[in-house]
Amino acid sequence: MKSKRQKEPATKKKLHIKKNDNVQVIAGKNKGATGKVLRVDRFNERIVVEGVNIITKHVKPSQQGQEGRIDRYEGPIHYSNVLLYCKKSNRGERIRIQLNKDGSKTRVFTKSGVPVE
């Protein structure tokens, strides 16, 4: 299901969360839940997390003889309401960007010091 798109700002925001990251929700009705990031919207600074913010939509039949249905899908949440999930400490942690000797960058958990896979 496509989300309603707001007016896009001039530039995309650089987010610390990427698709397929494991995150933990730290605010809202699903606080404490963990899941995989399915989609990232850098224009509106929102992400879709698997099993979080489930939205129910009732769909009427569009043709005669067809049955109506109830669709359930994940809605977007703001990226500031999640932290990357660290398996070592079993909780969400902040990250920092570490510069390697060869000039490449690596995301690293601040408290545990473990690199993000």
Exposed/middle/buried for residue 96 (C-beta within 10 Å: 0-12, 13-18, 19+): exposed
Asked if residue 38 belongs to a domain, the reply is yes
- For 25-54, what is each residue's pLDDT tens digit? 999 999 999 999 999 999 999 999 999 999
User: Is the pLDDT at 1 greater than 60, yes or no?
Assistant: no
Closest CA to 72 of 85, 86, 58: 58
CATH code of residue 85? 2.30.30.30
Determine the longest span between alpha carbons in the chain, in angstroms.
66
What 3-state DSSP class applies to 111? coil
Q: How far is CA 63 from the centre of its chain?
A: 35
Asked if residue 80 belongs to a domain, the reply is yes
- For 2-32, what is each residue's pLDDT tens digit? 556 666 666 888 899 999 999 999 999 999 9
Task: Note whether 81 and 27 are within 8 A (CB).
Answer: yes
- For 68-105, what is each residue's pLDDT tens digit? 999 999 999 999 999 999 999 999 999 999 999 999 99
- The residue whose two tokens read 């601040």 is 110
The total number of structural domains that make up the chain: 1
Asked if residue 102 belongs to a domain, the reply is yes
Task: Identify the pLDDT of residue 2.
Answer: 55
Asked if residue 55 belongs to a domain, the reply is yes
Task: Note whether 49 and 115 are within 8 A (CB).
Answer: no
Asked if residue 77 belongs to a domain, the reply is yes
Asked if residue 1 belongs to a domain, the reply is no
Tell me the residue range of the domain where 50 lies: 22-109
Task: Identify the pLDDT of residue 7.
Answer: 64
Asked if residue 64 belongs to a domain, the reply is yes
Asked if residue 15 belongs to a domain, the reply is no
